[in-house]
Amino acid sequence: MSTTPAENNGKRKADDTEKTINAEKKTADNVISSAPSTSTTSTVAKAPATKKKKTIKGSSKLSTKVTPDDNNPLTSFKPLTLVQIRKSIIELSTKVPKIPPGGISPDDKAQVKDWATQMQAVVEEFNLLLCCVAAATYKWGTDRTGAADQNLTLLSSELGNAQDQISSSVTPRLTNVLAPVVDLVTSEIVIKKNEETGEETRTSHFSREEVDPNFLRLCAGILCRNAKMLRIVVLTNFQKIGKCIDDYVKATNNDGENGRNAFSY
């Protein structure tokens, strides 16, 4: 059965229309099918963000947690300042033992030893106070100016000079009296005999005896004869150290003012 050209054209138009409709349906299906994947993607994207927030909260809790060490003495300890050291040395000068009106008798061993013990305690405390000066004046090298280094060098030199004078002139005379050279000797031997068995038991008693009593009497005489001058040497160096600390503090303050003025125009 033959078809006319008009019928052929009608069939072609119908086919084109069906193809267009099918294409639109496929596009709509694709849009519908892609909708769940989009929601899934957004859900997956939110998951890491939630984990990050939990991680940040956990880290903030760890960083804000404080564990104070109350048992450590350094948390509340404060070293002595130069002003406090100077004040302590001035107060220490009142503990220097005085000389009796009639002087110290070298024959009175108790009096000699008592005076030497008091002076030795003062010297020991003085040396310990000087050990605190380094901490009171500490600064890192780059934090000091050239003038500050010179001031600290002068202070250290004067403190060392005072300490050396007391250690060389006073301490040996005190030590000779307070800690004389002694030797362990046998002072007594007790012998006991057992009458029944005839055995003898010997018991030895030891004592510490002065190696040279004459030298000890000589040292006591020297200490008593020079007690007045030994006291003057100690007080003089105490006074000098107090003045040195005052001069160092003034020089440090002046250096700080000069440093600030150097940057003013």
Neighbours of 126 (CB within 10 A): 22
- Percentage with pLDDT > 90 across the chain: 41
Choose among 201, 219, 202: nearest CA to 211: 219
pLDDT at 3: 53
Written as one letter, the residue type at 241 is: I
Q: What would the pLDDT profile of 57-88 be if each residue is shown by its tens digit?
A: 444 444 555 555 667 888 888 889 999 999 99
* Dist CA 225 CA 231 (whole Å): 12
Residue 116, number of CB atoms within 10 A of its CB: 25
Residue 181 pLDDT: 78
Sign of the alpha-carbon torsion through 45, 48, 51, 53: negative
Average pLDDT for consecutive 10-residue bins of the chain (265 residues)?
Answer: 53 60 57 46 45 48 55 85 94 94 91 95 96 89 81 92 94 91 81 84 82 88 95 96 93 68 38
Q: Alpha helix (H) ranges present in 170-208? A: 171-178
Look at residue 173 in the predicted model and tell me its pLDDT: 94
Residues 165-197: tens digit of each pLDDT: 999 999 999 999 998 877 778 888 888 888 888
The structure tokens listed for 144 are 């000091």
| Dihedral sign of CA atoms 242, 245, 249, 254 in order | positive
Residue 235 has what DSSP assignment?
A: H
Residue type, 66: V
Q: What pTM did the predictor assign?
A: 0.63
Distance of CA 145 to the CA centre of its chain: 24
Count CA atoms closer than 13 A to 107's CA, side-chain side. 0
CA 6 to chain centre: 110
d(C-alpha 171, C-alpha 226), whole Å: 13
The helix (run of H) or strand (run of E) holding residue 206 is strand 200-210
46 forms bridges with which residues in the sheet?
none
Q: Are 48 and 99 in contact (CB under 8 A)?
A: no
